[in-house]
Structure 1
Amino acid sequence: MREFIILGYSASSSSSIATLPNPHGSNHSTKPYKDKPLSLPKLSPSKSSPPISTLHSRPPPLFAVRWDPTKTHLSYFADLASKLARDGKFQDFAMVVESVVLSGVRGSEFTAALKLELVAKGISGLLKEGKVRSVVEVLGKVNELGVPPLKLFDGYAMELLGRQCSRLLKCKQVQELVELMEALAGYRFPIKELLEPSEVIKLCVDKCCPKLAIRYACIFPHAHILFCNIIYEFGKRKALEPALAAYEASKENLNGSNMYVYRTIIDVCGLCKDYMKSRYIYEDLLKQKVTPNIYVFNSLMNVNAHDLNYTFHVYKSMQNLGVRADMACYNILLKACCLAGRVDLAQDIYSEVQHLESTGVLKLDVFTYSTIVKVFADAKLWHMALNVKEDMLSAGVTPNTVTWSSLISACANAGIVEKAIQLFEEMLLAGSEPNSQCFNILLHACVEANQYDRAFRLFQSLKSTKVQETFGKKYKGLSFKPTTTTYNTLMKACGTDYYHAKALLDEMRAVGLYPNQISWSILADICGGSGNVEGALQILKNMRAAGMKPDVVAYTTAIKVCVENENLELALSLFGEMKKYQIHPNLVTYNTLLRARSRYGSVSEVQQCLAIYQDMRKAGYKSNDYYLEQLIEEWCEGVIQDSNAKQEEFSSCNKTDIGRPGSLLLEKVAEHLQTHIAETLAVDLQGLTKVEARIVVLAVLRMIKENYTLGHSVKDDMLIVVGEVDGGSTTQNLEVKDAITKLLQDELGLKVLAAGAKVGLDTTIERGNTTDSDQDLDEMSGRDELPAELIYSTRRPVALERLKVTRGSLQHWLRRRSAPRR
């Protein structure tokens, strides 16, 4: 039998009790119970009652009453604990619970004896005061003693707890909120009813706390859905790293591969423009021997739709894995064809899905028809787009606004205004409500057909009245709201009328719209059309003043204006400014600069042009090198005076050799026109045809001639490497050698000697961290022999056939060319 001693205190102190175990039932001795530390989540400091661990610092008892634990006395102590809780004395409440439970009474039995309405009232009082931490500490203590915390709450207390959680959410105290939720979840509270999980996740994302978001998601049984929410919310904010952190955490916390999570992270890679990462995730799935479902495949193809080859590679992989394509899959393939401009592939896919529909496997939807219409519209194949519309109607599929817009656009792109307006009227008759894009396409049709006056008349009628007054009273209720695109389209119709375009820009602002970069670029182009270069440059400054950073289109437009007005230096200055602001030129930018000159007058101009060409190649752009090669050839041939017949012979032959991909000719000319070449005078013609070799040699001679006029004399012989000798000269080497010898001797009067074959050792020698390569045999023979392990030979020695133009001959030629004519 166990006994209790009721310890009394003075009126100013709290009432408390302590358990006195008496295993023998006779002798009674007092032995204080050592309080254990609470295991609770770490919450931020707040106004709360002192922790329960201070219970043993109470004042000494004034009296003690022995008690025999019978049912009557259990009710007494349950009543006492309930009243203590009601009065907010939860330290004493916890002591009573602890004493009773440790004396042998089960926690559930004592809980049943409590007056829960009183306990809940006390908890509500603490929650009203915002003392959430104190409540959680008490709940943690009684939970350890076997008293279910949830039993101590009534509906009102639960409502107050929800308010406190909402307060933490509103105050954006994300760490305190998540820790509270973790604690309540451990006590079996219905935390989903306290706060909407998506709101907590949004707060974690806004605060960029992926770890807290992950901890919160792990509380719920449906964690995979919350992980998807976390990943997607970070993706919408273009924050890929925390999204990937949530993805990795999902793999650790979820059992098996969850396709919802994989699909979401792939979609987020697309939102963040990291297409390669989406591919790595897909490959990781395959390495795990996991077959993605159709939704994962569709997301992967949609994210990579800009890469037609990869999209079809994924499609074929999907077929090989036995995953059946759905209608969305074919829509994405059509989208990829549309982006790549592959009308032929789009037609093949369209025919395939039509066949599948005829066999009952698939049912074409409005998205399929709309996509294929857009493919034909972009390719200006308006007849084929209209045929698709007939297929739609035959299949019982009603065109939507997107379909009608694409159909109207097909005619607009072809400049067929009447047909575009006819389709617009058909759209209205079919009951499909047009949007601003449809009206803009009609204006675009007028502009494309150069019917500028009609565009302005249509705009004024739509802007000032209702649609029914333009197309008939039966279209009552439809109105037109101009957009920035509307004004941009009309600005294109202004031709060279700068003031009219500027008025439209001002009107755009007056109706609450903001000019975009396209608006400013169009205005700059109009300035250029009227010869106002300064105005075009001022527009760039106005853009920055308006808080808008000029993009590549704006700069390219300004460069085009400068080029058209023969101010190339200013155009090159703008090109340099682009690089300064890290705005990457596009193909139009490069081509505008490379075609700026119809001829070259100096070495510096050629060097400048070739520098732009090389920059373009490094940026990954391919160009038609033929035009530039012609100008370079013309400039090089200028070194020969009064030899048009000779020049014509070489200019007209073997043109197929010029313009090869990644022109070797232009690279060689660029290489040999560097400033150091004037001192070394070494020309490498290896790999060039005789026409290309001629141009390179003439380019070097012209540079030597210009340097001579500037006071730089020739200090060495000119050496020309024709090519490798392998058991005798090749046919190509002989042709190059004969052509260059003929050029130098017969046309220019220079003295050419055979310099003999020079043997070059094409061997790489590694000595520690240093490397020597391409050493001559005679240089190697004078060295001490290296250990075998330090010598690594990659290629065999080669013999190079060379020609030499003597220094004296060059000086005589330069004096003769520089002498004034009589």
Structure 2
Amino acid sequence: MSLSKVTKFFNRNEDSCLKILYLCNSQSLKEGVCIHSPIIKLGLQDNLFLNNNLLSLYAKCFGARQARYFFDEMPYRDVVSWTGILSAYVRNGDHDEALELFDSMVVSGHNPNQFTLSSVLRSCSALGQFDYGTRAHAYVIKFGFELNPLLCSALIDFYAKCDCSEESYSIFGDMDNGDTISWTTIISSLTQAQKWSLALKHYIDMINARVPPNEFTFVKLFAASCFLGMNYGKLLHAHLIMLGIRLSLILKTALIDMYSKFQMMDDAIKVSNQTPEYDVQLWTSVISGFTHVLKINEAIAALHEMKTFGFVPNNFTYSSILKACSTALSLELGKQIHSLVIMTGFEEDVCVGNALVDMYTKCSTLMEDALIVFRGITSPNVICWTSLIAGFAEHGFEQDSFECFVQMQAAGVRPNSFTLSATLRACSTVKSYTQTLKLHGYIMKTKSDCDIVVGNALVDAYAALGMVDDAWHVIRMMSHRDTITYTSLATRINQMGHHEMAQDVITHMNNDDIKMDGFSLASFLSASAALATLETGRQLHCYAFKSGLNSCISVLNALIDMYWKCGCASDAYRAFGEISDPDVVSWNGLISGLASNGYTSSAISAFEDMRLAGSKPDSVTLLFVLFACSRGGLVDMGLEYFQSMKEKYDVAPRLDHYVCLVDLLGRAGRLEDAMEVILNMPFKPHPLIYKTLLVACKLHKNLPLGEDMARKGIELDPSDQAFYLLLAKLYDDSGQSDLAMKTRRLMRERGLRTNPSQSWMELRNKVHTFIAGDRSHPQINEIQDKIESLITKFKHRGLHEDMEGSSYHSEKLALAFGLLNTPSNAPIRISKNKPICSECHDFIMLATKLVDREIIVRDGNRIHAFKKGECSCGGCY
């Protein structure tokens, strides 16, 4: 055969092999690799063009590892060969090996092209390899690719993922004519940097530049609209329709996610039904949407429908359902989903494992279930450890939380901001100063203090320890603060009883230009309620209207409490009436307010209304009902409520309920029955219950039982001065002044001092405090003159003959101040830290016969509304 015929033969066969490879490459047909053997037999194994096509086919059909075997055996390689194998590793997610290959390519003397560098930049983006990425950028400039749209898009994405937004914008700005990909990339980088408004602005610029957006552009924009607001999402959806972009699966999934985030599941379902295409991701988005709005039945129905259509749920599907079980506290459903997880083999999956641990810690009363799941996870990640730490803390095993935190670090898992926050919450619960300092040291060492979540948790931990100055120091060191920062601080300060200090937090919020939300507003209203500062409370109510927070149930509940504690019954009723669906806290606020203000029958009636409305009473509700019966002298009704607590309302009586029962019987003079209750309690007596019966003994002048109660109470708590004082007063009332003096002397010998009786009232946003015998108030002379004037008028009218003008108790001082400084027709509101004494009660009652004013006194026990010589307590104080 002549040389020309041989050449034609090989050329013809080379062409045939090439056509077969092209066809198989275009359709990713595995059968195409069968051409490898004929190529060798025909002696074409040195043909670089054929080998590059064969390499591409191996990579597409068998992955990077098999392609690498072929690549290593290639006798000749060019930039196409290196780029082909490198891109195979990138597609497979083996970014480290891809970068190693690029280094080998450069060493071998081959110069990269734009496709090589694009793959390298993708790997740098995935790994966050900033230094390596800048080297790749240098190659882009060196080989003159700086204006290549493909590489510009890759560089924009790389710098965005390395948190270098300015570099991304600079590269985009230098492009002469950005295409759809580059515009979409810059929009994507902005959404990733959480610059939602700027992302939307770039979309508008993109439209103005007449660059057509694609489905991926809208996917990123819908993600941004979740943070910008529903109106933006709807406008983008309308624009999508107007541009005629086909509703692909990825676009449909993004739309469903957006509508689900705004709890608009009807619209989400409409979108899902617009095209027949479904996949696992879309079904998971639908299920996740239903769980987000707590429509558990609909989520389960969607899961069944998904399986009916032949789609197998993945780990994210099961995680979404389990998240719903955690939110709804549905342990039974969670266990059923757990069974499905085991059947489908996802029990070792980290994502599902995290959701299971979270579900069991929140739904189960036992931590064992969560621990079993945790131990079954092959490599628990930071989320799983955090769920376990938070679970221990929530179940009261704070020491286990701390140990778990140490074990997590020993396992090589670095805590994130949520881990540190959960561990700090455990410190707050047990008020552990040592653990808080240790964690603060770790946070400083790892530079985690710049995270606002960690900063807020630190503020709460120090405030829980009563270390308010340290909490303020943390706040000042934080780079930025939010509503949670100040709400947690104000709440803790309220719990310490420093309510004026809590209200001062408002000024700091305003200085930081931070708006109050429903929780912070409720906290500040709680401070106003505790102080009975009506003016401040009304100002906060006005803010609620202006800010639109007046419909928030936590705010309305706080308003109910505030108005009741300020003695404003009509305002409290109005706030309750504004709640469309009152919860148990709303009803408790109403019942408590009515009982405290002396409206006993109305309190009982409100309780029955609550039951008829279908709201289940809790232990607090029944405590307030018993309190109402006690204050109203409804002994039989109170006993009936107490006896039916467990069987009728499924509420086991606690110590507070027994104290209220003893108070109910004691006030009615049934002291022996009250003693019987104490003897038959299912737990050890507490000093409070002895103190309660001692008060009843003083009321009914039962000295023997009173002495017994005082002795038992002092044995349990010898530092409680109330036992000594009550016993001394009982001796005084029984005519045994010598024993009263001995009791008071014993108290002094033991180093116990009585807390001074304080009264205060608000005037023009300032709280004026009065203490018996204190002459520090600037108007003290006028105040004392006013008291003397009232006593003189009492005597002239024959209202009282034995009024002691020298006895200037704190409530008398506050009353005189109110009469001097408030308008003649305005009610006077006084708060007191201790129960009002009989002398002051009579004094104020007589004062209302002379002055046509309503005087409201809130003491340590209840609210007294004095008017025209009468009091709402009916003498039961």
Give the TM bin, normalised by the shorter chain. Answer: 0.3 to 0.5
TM-score by length of 2: 0.44
- In our comparison, the structure showing a higher alpha carbon Rg is 1
**Structure that is richer in helix per residue:** 2
TM-score by length of 1: 0.47
